[in-house]
Structure 1
Amino acid sequence: MPVNCHPRLLAVGITYRDLVISGITELPALGEERYGTDFVATWGGVANTARIAASLGARVQLLTGLGEDPTSQMCRRELADWGIDLAPSPIHPGWALPVTMSQACGTERAMTTVETALPAPFRAPNLEGIDAIVTHISVPAEAWLHEAADAGIPVIADHGFEEGCEPGVLEAVSGCTCYTPNAAEAMRLTGTDDPVRAARALAEHVPIVVVTCGGDGIVGVDSRTGEEVHVPAVAIDPVNTTGAGDATLAGLAWSWDWPVPLARKLDVAALVGAIVTSRAHGTADPLTPDDLLAWVPRDRQRLGFLAELLG
Structure 2
Amino acid sequence: MIAPTGKGSSPTTSGPQCQAEVDPLAAVRAPGDPPWDVYLTGTVFLDIVFTGLETAPVRGTESWARGMGSSPGGVANMATALARLGLRTSLAAAFGDDHYGEYCWDALEQGEHIDLSTSRTVPGWHSPVTVSMAYEGERTMVSHGHEPPPEAVAVAKTGVLDNPPRARAAVASLTPGEHAPWIAEAASRGTRVFADVGWDDTGAWDLAGLPDLEHCEAFLPNAEEAMRYTGAKSPRAAAHALTEHVPLAVVTLGAEGAYAVDRRTGETAEVPAIAVEALDPTGAGDVFVAGFVTGTLADWPLADRLAFAGLTAALSVQEFGGSLSAPGWSEIAAWWRKVQSVEAQDPTALQRYAFLETLLPKAAARPWPLRRAVPTIGFGRST
Taking structure 2 as the reference length, what is the TM-score of the superposition? 0.73
Q: Which has the higher contact order (CA 8 A, sep 6+)?
A: 2
2:141 to 111, 114, 138: 111
1:90 to 120, 137, 147: 120
Flag the 1:304–1:126 CA change in 2: closer, same or farther, 3 A.
Answer: same
Flag the 1:196–1:285 CA change in 2: closer, same or farther, 3 A.
Answer: closer
| 1:139-183 Cα deviation digits (max 9, x unpaired) | 523223123224431111122227655776432333211112222
1:72 to 101, 105, 120: 101
2:25 aligns to what? 4
Flag the 1:225–1:91 CA change in 2: closer, same or farther, 3 A.
Answer: same
Q: Do the aligned partners of 1:187 and 1:198 also contact (CA within 8 Å) in 2?
A: yes
Q: Which amino acid aligns with 1:209?
A: A
1:153 to 178, 191, 195: 191
1:237 aligns to what? 277
Partner Cα separation in structure 2 for residue 286 and residue 247 of structure 1? 6
Partner Cα separation in structure 2 for residue 49 and residue 172 of structure 1? 20
Residue aligned with 1:134, SS: strand
Report deviation, 1:271: 0.8
Q: Do the aligned partners of 1:165 and 1:185 also contact (CA within 8 Å) in 2?
A: no
Residue aligned with 1:80, SS: helix
Partner Cα separation in structure 2 for residue 233 and residue 147 of structure 1? 35
1:51 aligns with 2:101: no
1:293 aligns to what? 333
Residue aligned with 2:120, SS: coil
Report deviation, 1:194: 2.3
2:245 aligns to what? 205
Report deviation, 1:282: 5.0
1:19 aligns to what? 48
Residue aligned with 1:64, SS: strand
Report deviation, 1:3: 4.7
Report deviation, 1:32: 5.5
1:42 aligns to what? 71
Partner Cα separation in structure 2 for residue 187 and residue 98 of structure 1? 32
1:136 aligns to what? 173
Q: Which amino acid aligns with 2:187?
A: A
Partner Cα separation in structure 1 for residue 95 and residue 203 of structure 2? 27
Residue aligned with 2:153, SS: coil
1:62 aligns to what? 91
1:302 aligns with 2:331: no
Q: Which amino acid aligns with 2:75?
A: V
Partner Cα separation in structure 1 for residue 310 and residue 180 of structure 2? 29
Q: Do the aligned partners of 1:162 and 1:184 also contact (CA within 8 Å) in 2?
A: no
Q: Which amino acid aligns with 2:171?
A: V
1:248 aligns with 2:269: no
1:191 aligns with 2:225: no
Residue aligned with 1:251, SS: helix
1:174 to 206, 211, 214: 214
Partner Cα separation in structure 1 for residue 239 and residue 138 of structure 2? 23
> Structure 1 stretch 245-254 or stretch 97-106: which is displaced more?
97-106
Flag the 1:95–1:198 CA change in 2: closer, same or farther, 3 A.
Answer: farther
> Which has the higher Rg, Structure 1 or Structure 2?
2
Report deviation, 1:133: 0.9
Partner Cα separation in structure 1 for residue 276 and residue 183 of structure 2? 35
Q: Which amino acid aligns with 2:318?
A: S
> Structure 1 stretch 160-169 or stretch 87-96: which is displaced more?
160-169
Flag the 1:162–1:301 CA change in 2: closer, same or farther, 3 A.
Answer: farther
Taking structure 1 as the reference length, what is the TM-score of the superposition? 0.88
Report deviation, 1:34: 5.0
Flag the 1:281–1:148 CA change in 2: closer, same or farther, 3 A.
Answer: closer
Q: Do the aligned partners of 2:82 and 2:89 also contact (CA within 8 Å) in 1?
A: yes
Q: Which amino acid aligns with 1:178?
A: A
Flag the 1:277–1:141 CA change in 2: closer, same or farther, 3 A.
Answer: same
Identity level (%): 35
List runs of 5+ in structure 1 lacking aligned partners: none
Partner Cα separation in structure 1 for residue 61 and residue 252 of structure 2? 32
Q: Which amino acid aligns with 1:113?
A: S
